[in-house]
Chain A
Amino acid sequence: MKSVDFFAMNTYMTITAYGPGAADAVAAGEARVYAIENEFSRTIADSPIKKIEENAGISPVVVSQEVFDLIREAVSYSSDTSDAFDLSIAPIMDLWGFTDSNYRVPTDAEIDAVLPLVAADRIVLDSKALTVYLPEPGMAIDLGGIAKGYTSDQVQGEMQKYDITAGMLSLGGNVAVFGDKSDGTRWKVAIADPDNPTSYLGILTTDAISVITSGGYERYFEKDGKRYIHIMDPATGKPAESDLVSVTIITKDGVQGDALSTALFVMGREKAIAYYRSHGDFLFVLEDSDGVIYIPSALAGDFVASDTGKEIVTVTAEGT
């Protein structure tokens, strides 16, 4: 067994591998993280994402196939979730100070001035020329809501080139597990309790999977007694006023998990469950502000709630 932990993508990561090639696998995994960060970070000068932003309203920017494909995937999630997830939310994040931790509450006039820049459908993609163009100065792309999920998938792929039997990743709490544990048991992934983040709501027993959680409980600031969470509603330019406190997506596809954990949080409980019923290619654990936990019936046998006294409601895939 070999494990590394480090800071990258403005978060804390741990990568663990089991088997003869574990040391090489975790080293390769860590290197892949830095390589992706250099491509996709908005805060690294000369990154393709930064160049696209600097050329907003000026000219299209030629990017690599990898960057183009992930931006295209992010755009399609924006459209598929009716912009509950929006990769062009960056100017609003800047306005609230979530980009540089200089938190402030902007006026409605300031928000109204910036909000038209948040428009994933205005991003111009040319798949032949491999260019990305933001048509208005001030527009920006932030793949923060999807890059960790992408990185998780990529790191797993990189690690599996080595002689390992199993591995697990936590990229800032975005979890992926793969391979077979040496004791033959299935993986156990705990899901943090929003009321006490070092404790857990329950434990998911699973084979290879990504488990990605979003909530307002971790990153927020308070001003004049009011709490402002970091998950923004692209429709209002303000922190999402969701009736959910925690959204966990369970999926084979880390990009989907990352995008949907944010999107379903912004949607709120009813729309989130409706989205699940119309798509169905993932599983979830939701907790709402009344402390009720919602899980799909398909998960009922694999999710064991801890003794928090919270009610559990099982959701059918078809609706009632």
Chain B
Amino acid sequence: MRILREKRETKKIYTPTFRFCAADAVAIAGVILLAGLSALYVYRTFLFGSPSQSLEVIFTIDGKTVYSVPLQSNEVQTFTTTGDLGSITVTVRDGEAAITAADCPDQICVRTGRISTVGQAVVCLPNHAVLRIEPADGSETSSAYDIMAN
């Protein structure tokens, strides 16, 4: 470093000067826009909630509602219920819900994965348990499909 500086001082070949030009403005605006969009994306559920309506997660055993909670929440929520075959744990986070643990031999419910839209359900057959999503106000919703075959 010292040698470089000495060379510059002695020879004065190049003195960098900063001139703000149009291309710099575009680049900076782009970075700010990207940062803003990223933040919006990350915090979209926090900022906007559900775009059109509020949804709730409903957990039933043998058709009886054990609990219902808002799907949109700023914190991770876990609920553990005891069914016929032992405990069933439901996790709600970032606008998604899943059965994350169950004392059953099949584990089909855990493998089913996360749900986030009306009409989707996670079923635990041995426990007769169903986790599903419904509009909080009970209204009908438009979905990409009427019913799903699986």
Contact = CB atoms under 8 A, between A and B. Distances in A.
Nearest to A219: B108
A101 B145 contact: no
A213 B149 CA distance: 6
Interface stretch (A173-181, A271-279, A292-300): A173-181
Interface residues of B, number: 27
Interface stretch (B10-18, B68-76, B124-132): B124-132
B112 A197 contact: yes
B51 interface: no
Interface in A179-233: 181, 187-192, 196-198, 200, 203, 211-213, 215, 218-219, 221
Q: Say what secondary structure dominates the interface of chain B.
A: loop
B147 to A, nearest CB: 5
Contact of B149 (A7, A103, A190): A190
B137 to A, nearest CB: 15
A201 B114 CA distance: 16
B148 A1 contact: no
A283 to B, nearest CB: 13
B115 interface: yes
A5 interface: yes
Q: Say what secondary structure dominates the interface of chain A.
A: strand
* Residues of A in contact with B, size category: 35 or more
Contacts of B113: 196-198
Contacts of B148: 170, 173, 175, 189-192, 200
Contacts, number: 83
Interface string B44-86: 0000000000000000001100000000000000000000000
Given A5-B130, A12-B130, A101-B105, A190 B145 contact: yes
Contacts of A215: 150
Contacts of A198: 112-115, 120, 122
B145 A188 contact: yes
A175 B147 contact: yes
Contacts of A160: none
Interface in B97-112: 104-106, 108, 111-112
A211 B149 contact: yes
Given A177-B147, A189-B147, A191-B148, 13 more contacts: A1-B140, A5-B130, A12-B130, A101-B104, A170-B147, A189-B149, A192-B149, A197-B111, A198-B120, A200-B148, A203-B144, A219-B106, A221-B106
Interface of B: 62-63, 104-106, 108, 111-115, 120-123, 125-126, 128, 130, 140, 144-150
Interface of A: 1, 5-7, 10-12, 101-103, 168, 170, 173-175, 177, 181, 187-192, 196-198, 200, 203, 211-213, 215, 218-219, 221, 248
